[in-house]
Amino acid sequence: MSGDHACAEGGLAAGCSFFAGYPITPSTEIAERMSERLPEVGGIFIQMEDELASMNAILGAAWGGWKSMTCTSGPGFSLMMENLGLGIVLETPTVLVNIQRGGPSTGLPTLPGQADMMQAKWGSHGDYEIIALAPNSPQEIFDLTVRAFNLSEEFRTPVLVMSDESVGHMTEKVVIPPREKLQITPRRYTKKKPGEYLPFDFGEDEIPEMVKAGDGYRIHITGLTHDKRGYPVINAEAQDWMVRHLMRKIQKNKHRIIQIEEINIDDAEVVVVSYGISSRVAHRAMDLAREDGIKAGMLRLITVWPFCEEKIRELAERVKAFVTVEMNMGQIALEVERCACGKAGTFLVPHAGGEVHNPEDIYQVIKEAAK
Amino acid sequence: MNKSENSTAVADKLVHPMSDLLRMDRMPHIWCSSCGLGTTLTCFIMAVRESGVDEKKIAVVSGIGCSGRVAGYINLDSFHTTHGRAIPFATGLTLANPELRVVVYSGDGDIVAIGGNHFIHAARRNMDMLVICVNNFTYGMTGGQAGPTTPVTAKATTAPYGCYEYPFNIPYLAIASGATYVARWTALHMRRLKNSIAEALPKKGFRVIEIICPCPTAFARKNRMGTGLDLMKYYHDNSIIKHGADPKEADIQMTGKIIVGKFLDIERPTFRDFLVENVSAQIGRK
């Protein structure tokens, strides 16, 4: 099964019943698969007029009580940024998949890139925290799309799946577990009665409960800075309360969100940091280095945002250097550098996109870093 | 009790007869004195009550701008979204729950400028929603800039020499795009407007009601048209009620007549009808 199709199947397995999207290479096959499969399970597929509309439609469907998703790539991701921000401020569970291609602008529509990683973090205006997952195979895009839905329900927030053209168009074996073996997080609907419920009230874990339109709660939800009732409040105090809450909701719970894979880390002197398709090439380079007697290990980021700061800090105390491998000119490498705090060397193997790295190039940098 | 204390006590007891449909804890509203938006909202809540539609099942979606603030004052499920995006948000909402009566309540700039593409496509799909588009010919919230409805020669803060673009004729645009119910009233036509909303609310398909509305602070001041009351008098003297009028003739000029009434009221299959009848039938045959 292709990565794109596996992504669609992951959405369906997680209970997605609404998909709104706009065709864009290389993510289109997700929409195509959804257009065929959703009506079979009683869901709705709609092809919107653009990505602005797609992002809004999935937010509306979420407040209508459905699990929803969209997918896009390149310029479409830029258009979705406006209302990704709305989804974050309205604290709306939904999933946005980006099958990254080469940019900027129209760039390389049919070829891979990983240069939207910082856009995923900062792309919509204002301060917020985001959850972004980076699969490196068709199987993992299935698994992580399911997980993205679960995290979106658990934390009442949009979740990004940041894949790339290589994974999206790659065909590999995908095992779809039977429904009863999948862990699916249901929406956290409130048990409170109308009049008692406040849409942005939360407890210790910072996560407010949900309702849906039509249940008699007479909620008001706004993209303006608001209080816990959802009413707009235009002052610095309300802004401080709301923005800090949006940040804390993810930061406080990051131990529940961050997933990393550690390979040959225990005795490693050089740690390769990578994610998505690049991690598969980086893995080969690490093996080449090991064959050559270099103590190389790898840290694969399955969750890219929030970033595994503590892990990098801890490793920086004992390893010689980090080598970040990503299909961009250095984005996650900046995070590695920040967290390494000068305690370990930091190297980057950049690539402007269009094809995966050559493992030999990575190997050369590992060798350099091990000196 | 002296006289002033007495009047305060009376004022405290004065309750809007339909306060249960308003978020009284958000009053006073932000709209200017003699703005027509309050009148349109009064007509809307009267229509909601009269229509007999289950109030729990009504959801109001607004975009950004003065008209976009309606969602914040109405005591129904209400969503204040981003600029121009009320219609696609409402599309997701109405598709997820067909029991909902979804109303998009927003301004001309929101609906036919930044949201223009969403407007024509939702009309084309005959998506289930009632769009109430309050047209005050300007961007009021940002101080009176020209927009896609500003009449030719009208002055605005971004058209100091007069507007030199043709405006949209909203009923014509709606009908050409596929809407199934299209009416226009002014804020003066309270009874007719209320009846029109009450009639359109329970219907299916993409319905559009344009409300011509005074903006005394921005549009009227820039164009020396007087107060809101003067504009109401203007509507009184210059509106022509013409049901079934050819929408091509419903252009609005800086001076001259304003054609109001119900332009169109037809039925055609909605997005959901097609989905249920065509797609489900094919899947059933598989």
CATH of residue A359's domain is: 3.40.50.920
C-alpha distance from A212 to closest chain B C-alpha (Å) = 9
Asked if pLDDT for residue B14 goes beyond 90, the answer is no
Q: How would you write the pLDDT of chain A (371 residues) with one tens digit per residue?
A: 999 999 999 999 999 999 999 999 999 999 999 999 999 999 999 999 999 999 999 999 999 999 999 999 999 999 999 999 999 999 999 999 999 999 999 999 999 999 999 999 999 999 999 999 999 999 999 999 999 999 999 999 999 999 999 999 999 999 999 999 999 999 999 999 999 999 999 999 999 999 999 999 999 999 999 999 999 999 999 999 999 999 999 999 999 999 999 999 999 999 999 999 999 999 999 999 999 999 999 999 999 999 999 999 999 999 999 999 999 999 999 999 999 999 999 999 999 999 999 999 999 999 999 99
Among A46, A60, A217, the residue with its CB nearest the CB of B93 is A60
Q: In the numeric block, which tokens belong to residue A103? A: 């940019």
Number of C-beta neighbours around residue B28 at 10 A: 5
- Do A271 and A242 sit in the same domain of this protein? no
Owner of token pair 């101080």: B143
Interchain contact, B78 vs A219, CB within 8 Å: yes
Interchain contact, B79 vs A46, CB within 8 Å: no
Per DSSP, A329 falls in state: S
Of the pLDDT bands very low, low, confident and very high (cuts 50, 70, 90), residue B8 is low
Q: Which of A257, A289, A318 is the last residue before a domain boundary?
A: A257
Number of C-beta neighbours around residue B17 at 10 A: 9
Q: Which of A257, A277, A296 is the last residue before a domain boundary?
A: A257
Which residues in chain B touch residue A216, judged by CB atoms under 8 angstroms apart? 56
Which residues in chain B touch residue A66, judged by CB atoms under 8 angstroms apart? 96
Q: Which residues of B86-113 are buried (b: 16+ CB within 10 A; e: fewer)?
A: bbbbbbbbbbbbeebbbbbbbbbbbbbb
C-alpha distance from B136 to closest chain A C-alpha (Å) = 23
What domains can be seen in chain B, in order of their start residue?
19-285 (3.40.50.970)
The residue segments making up the domain with residue A317 are 261-370
Of the pLDDT bands very low, low, confident and very high (cuts 50, 70, 90), residue B12 is low
CA distances from B267 to A353, B42, B185, B205 (A): 52, 28, 21, 8
Q: Which are the contacts of A123, defined by CB distance < 8 A and separation ≥ 6?
A: A77, A78, A81, A84, A116
CA pair distance A119, A110, nearest whole angstrom: 20
Strand-pairing partners, residue A45, are A19
Taking a C-beta distance cutoff of 8 angstroms, is the pair A131, A160 a contact? Answer: yes
Interchain contact, B91 vs A213, CB within 8 Å: no
Burial class (CB in 10 A: 0-12, 13-18, 19+), A40: exposed
Instruction: Check residue A342 and give its pLDDT.
Output: 97
Taking a C-beta distance cutoff of 8 angstroms, is the pair B172, B250 a contact? Answer: yes
Which residues in chain B touch residue A58, judged by CB atoms under 8 angstroms apart? 92
Domain tally for chain A?
A: 2
Per-residue pLDDT tens digits for A144-164 = 999 999 999 999 999 999 999
Number of C-beta neighbours around residue B253 at 10 A: 12
Number of C-beta neighbours around residue A79 at 10 A: 19
Interchain contact, A86 vs B82, CB within 8 Å: yes
| Residues of A contacting chain B (CB within 8 angstroms) | 18, 20, 39-40, 44, 46, 48-50, 52-54, 56-66, 68, 82-83, 85-86, 212-224, 231-232
CA distances from A222 to B23, B70, B187 (A): 14, 12, 26
Kind of pairing between the strands at A16-21 and A67-72: parallel
Per-residue pLDDT tens digits for B104-134 = 999 999 999 999 999 999 999 999 999 999 9
Among A18, A39, A44, the residue with its CB nearest the CB of B283 is A39
Strand-pairing partners, residue B74, are B22
Asked if pLDDT for residue B275 goes beyond 50, the answer is yes
- Do A132 and A167 sit in the same domain of this protein? yes
Residue of B nearest to A219 (CA): B77
Taking a C-beta distance cutoff of 8 angstroms, is the pair A265, A297 a contact? Answer: yes
Interchain contact, A56 vs B283, CB within 8 Å: no
Interchain contact, A52 vs B88, CB within 8 Å: yes
Instruction: Check residue B6 and give its pLDDT.
Output: 57
Among A68, A83, A213, the residue with its CB nearest the CB of B100 is A213
- Do A37 and A142 sit in the same domain of this protein? yes
Q: Helix A3-13 and helix A28-37: axis angle, to 10°? A: 40
| Residues of B contacting chain A (CB within 8 angstroms) | 23, 25-26, 56-57, 59, 61, 71-72, 75-82, 84-85, 87-97, 99-100, 117-118, 121, 271, 275, 279-280, 283
CA pair distance A88, A125, nearest whole angstrom: 11
Nearest alpha-carbon partner for B72 in B141, B143, B149? B141
Residue of A nearest to B77 (CA): A218
Which residues in chain A touch residue B283, judged by CB atoms under 8 angstroms apart? 39-40
Kind of pairing between the strands at B239-241 and B181-186: unpaired
Q: Which are the contacts of B237, defined by CB distance < 8 A and separation ≥ 6?
A: none
Q: Which residues of B152-185 are buried (b: 16+ CB within 10 A; e: fewer)?
A: eebbbeebeeebeeebbbbbbbbbebbbbbbbbb
CA pair distance A65, A70, nearest whole angstrom: 16
Mean pLDDT value across residues B179-193: 98
Asked if pLDDT for residue B170 goes beyond 90, the answer is yes
Taking a C-beta distance cutoff of 8 angstroms, is the pair A261, B110 a contact? Answer: no
- Do A270 and A183 sit in the same domain of this protein? no
Number of C-beta neighbours around residue A44 at 10 A: 22
Interchain contact, A224 vs B80, CB within 8 Å: yes
Among B72, B85, B118, the residue with its CB nearest the CB of A222 is B72
Q: Which residues of A325-344 are buried (b: 16+ CB within 10 A; e: fewer)?
A: bbbbebbbbebbbebbeeeb
Q: Cα(first)–Cα(last) distance of chain A, in Å?
A: 42
Number of C-beta neighbours around residue A276 at 10 A: 29
Mean pLDDT value across residues B88-111: 98
Which residues in chain B touch residue A217, judged by CB atoms under 8 angstroms apart? 77
Q: In the numeric block, which tokens belong to residue A30? A: 């997700």
Asked if pLDDT for residue B1 goes beyond 50, the answer is no
Q: Which is it for the CA torsion A31, A111, A78, A339, positive or negative?
A: positive
Taking a C-beta distance cutoff of 8 angstroms, is the pair B41, B211 a contact? Answer: no
Interchain contact, A52 vs B85, CB within 8 Å: yes
Interchain contact, B117 vs A221, CB within 8 Å: no
Q: What is the ipTM of this complex?
A: 0.97
CATH number (domain holding residue A161): 3.40.50.970
Strand-pairing partners, residue A260, are A301
Q: Is B203 helix (H, G, I), strand (E, B) or coil?
A: coil
Q: Full-prediction pTM beyond 0.90? A: yes
- Cα three-residue angle A35-A40-A42, rounded to 5 degrees: 95
CA pair distance B40, A100, nearest whole angstrom: 46
State the maximum Cα–Cα separation within chain B, in Å, rounded to a whole number. Answer: 82
Q: In the numeric block, which tokens belong to residue B257? A: 């007549």
Identity (one letter) of the amino acid at B172?
Answer: Y
Number of C-beta neighbours around residue B186 at 10 A: 26
- Do A206 and A283 sit in the same domain of this protein? no
Per-residue pLDDT tens digits for A179-235 = 999 999 999 999 999 999 999 999 999 999 999 999 999 999 999 999 999 999 999
Interchain contact, B81 vs A86, CB within 8 Å: yes
Q: Which are the contacts of A216, defined by CB distance < 8 A and separation ≥ 6?
A: A194, B56
Q: Is A203 helix (H, G, I), strand (E, B) or coil?
A: coil
Which residues in chain A touch residue B60, judged by CB atoms under 8 angstroms apart? none
CB pairs under 8 A between A and B: 141
Interchain contact, B93 vs A82, CB within 8 Å: no
Q: What is chain A's Cα-based Rg?
A: 21
- Do A286 and A316 sit in the same domain of this protein? yes
Q: Which is it for the CA torsion B133, B136, B138, B141, positive or negative?
A: negative
Strands (E), chain B: 58-62, 77-80, 101-107, 129-135, 181-186, 206-212, 239-241, 258-265
Among A60, A82, A231, the residue with its CB nearest the CB of B91 is A60
Interchain contact, A223 vs B82, CB within 8 Å: yes
- Do A232 and A339 sit in the same domain of this protein? no
Nearest alpha-carbon partner for A19 in A5, A37, A1? A37
- Do A226 and A238 sit in the same domain of this protein? yes
- Do A149 and A239 sit in the same domain of this protein? yes
Instruction: Check residue B281 and give its pLDDT.
Output: 81
Which residues in chain B touch residue A91, judged by CB atoms under 8 angstroms apart? none
- Do A42 and A83 sit in the same domain of this protein? yes
Asked if pLDDT for residue B4 goes beyond 60, the answer is no
CA distances from A169 to A163, A357, B182 (A): 11, 17, 46
Which residues in chain B touch residue A232, judged by CB atoms under 8 angstroms apart? 72, 80
Instruction: Check residue B15 and give its pLDDT.
Output: 80
Q: Which of A257, A282, A297 is the last residue before a domain boundary?
A: A257
C-alpha distance from A110 to closest chain B C-alpha (Å) = 27
Q: C-alpha B68: how far from its chain's center? A: 9
Q: Tabulate helix, strand, coil % of chain B (nearest 5).
A: 45, 20, 40
Q: In the numeric block, which tokens belong to residue B155? A: 């002055």
- Do A34 and A108 sit in the same domain of this protein? yes
Stated length of chain A: 371
Mean pLDDT for all residues in chain B: 94
Interchain contact, B77 vs A217, CB within 8 Å: yes
Nearest alpha-carbon partner for A271 in A346, A204, A223, A323? A323
- Do A193 and A289 sit in the same domain of this protein? no
Owner of token pair 């929406």: A187
Owner of token pair 């602005």: A52
C-alpha distance from B77 to closest chain A C-alpha (Å) = 4
Interchain contact, A66 vs B96, CB within 8 Å: yes
